[in-house]
Amino acid sequence: MKSKQLGYVLMALIVVGIAGLVIRVIARTGPEDMLAGLVQVSREASDKIIITSDEFEAELVRLGDENTGYAWFINDEPVFVPKLEQFWLAVSDLYSAQLIAENPSSQTRMGVADGEGVQVSFFQDRRSLQEKFIVGTWKPEIRLCYVRRAGHDEVYGVPCPLGNIFDPIPDGWKNPVVVAIPPQEIASVEFTYLDERFLLIMNPDEEWVVVGEDGEVIPAHPLAVNSVFGALQVLVSSGFAEEEVADELNFAVPDAMIRVVTKEGSSAPTTRLRFLIRDELSLYLAVPTSATTFIVDQAAAGGLLLRKDAFLTN
């Protein structure tokens, strides 16, 4: 690593260390300054969460049972697990939240006055309100969220490594990962465009080749193969299409379709990716395993949407 890059890494580590130190110093205040008297809210005790702001509302619902296991959903789509884990970690910190202010006049400054901030409500049996909090301003320099329990004046601080943990935007809870297929599990990739179709497959000598519509077999350029596999290893969307927009899209006749066949016993199933051009910078993308219509950047999909000429070795 170059010295300049190393310097940036060290600076980042120092900043993270300082932030952690500040949070630890705050955590050393006495128990009389902690948020007390809360009803137990957790992934086990709660089965619905509503997060609202002036513009948005996200409703997370827990489905399942003890036999099949539980999972959280938003608009019938699974909640993105890494984000959910961050949320529950922040919720657990509520029980040791440190007192920041008691004077109601400070609530507006911290963004937790009535009608301000983000309201986070926890429910049991989908209808019984357990607790309601108002989450205000996020302080990135100390990674802290201001929180006030509804009906109370005291404002507390909760460690928040990110500013969108208590996210009222529904799309923020959806899984942005379209596909994640390890390269070693790919058996073949079929490319279909409006004017061209070909197959990328491994021959008996374990060499990747391209088979054209006329049956011609040519060696595949390693850089092109790596480009495709790299894109399929983790393809992340930049957003999601609005429902009314998605309903008007015709994926039966896509501008491009990629069929990925995985090997027997693979951790990822065989799948199809159907693309429609959205604009000069992005595309719509649909996969059979999700009802969501993804939006992907042209730059992110460019390594996957290669033409046959890109695989030529000469």
For 163-201, write each residue's pLDDT tens digit: 889 999 999 999 999 999 999 999 999 999 999 999 999
Lowest mean pLDDT among 67-76, 122-131, 175-184, 303-312: 67-76
Q: What is the pLDDT of residue 160?
A: 87
Q: Judge if 76 and 205 occupy the same domain.
A: no
The residue-averaged pLDDT of 135-151 equals: 86
pLDDT digits (tens, 9 = 90+) for 243-275: 899 999 999 999 999 999 999 999 999 999 999
Q: Judge if 163 and 195 occupy the same domain.
A: no
Q: Judge if 166 and 47 occupy the same domain.
A: yes
Q: Judge if 164 and 189 occupy the same domain.
A: no
Q: Judge if 115 and 214 occupy the same domain.
A: no
Q: Judge if 42 and 158 occupy the same domain.
A: yes
Q: What is the pLDDT of residue 162?
A: 81
Of 111, 93, 92, which is closest to residue 101 (Cα–Cα)? 111
- Return the sign of the alpha-carbon dihedral for residues 205, 206, 212, 213: positive
Q: Judge if 32 and 63 occupy the same domain.
A: yes
Q: What is the pLDDT of residue 255?
A: 98
The residue-averaged pLDDT of 130-157 equals: 89
pLDDT at residue 305 greater than cutoff 60: yes
Q: What is the pLDDT of residue 262?
A: 97
Task: Look at residues 152, 173, 194 and tell me which one is the last residue of a structural domain.
Answer: 173
Q: What is the pLDDT of residue 169?
A: 94
CATH number, domain at 241?
A: 2.60.40
Q: Judge if 169 and 188 occupy the same domain.
A: no
Q: Judge if 208 and 301 occupy the same domain.
A: yes
Token code pair at residue 181: 């297929």
pLDDT at residue 88 greater than cutoff 90: yes
Instruction: Provide long-range contacts, Cβ within 8 A and 24+ apart, for 146-150.
Output: 146/100, 146/110, 146/111, 146/112, 146/117, 147/35, 147/94, 147/97, 147/112, 148/107, 148/110, 148/112, 149/35, 149/38, 150/119
Task: Look at residues 173, 205, 231 and tell me which one is the last residue of a structural domain.
Answer: 173
Q: Which domain holds residue 278?
A: 177-311
- Give the rounded percent of residues in the chain with a pLDDT score beyond 70: 89
The residue-averaged pLDDT of 283-300 equals: 94
Q: Judge if 44 and 56 occupy the same domain.
A: yes
Q: Judge if 32 and 112 occupy the same domain.
A: yes
Task: Look at residues 106, 141, 173 and tell me which one is the last residue of a structural domain.
Answer: 173
Q: Judge if 162 and 216 occupy the same domain.
A: no
- pTM of the predicted model as reported, rounded to 2 decimal places: 0.78
User: In total, how many domains does the chain have?
Assistant: 2
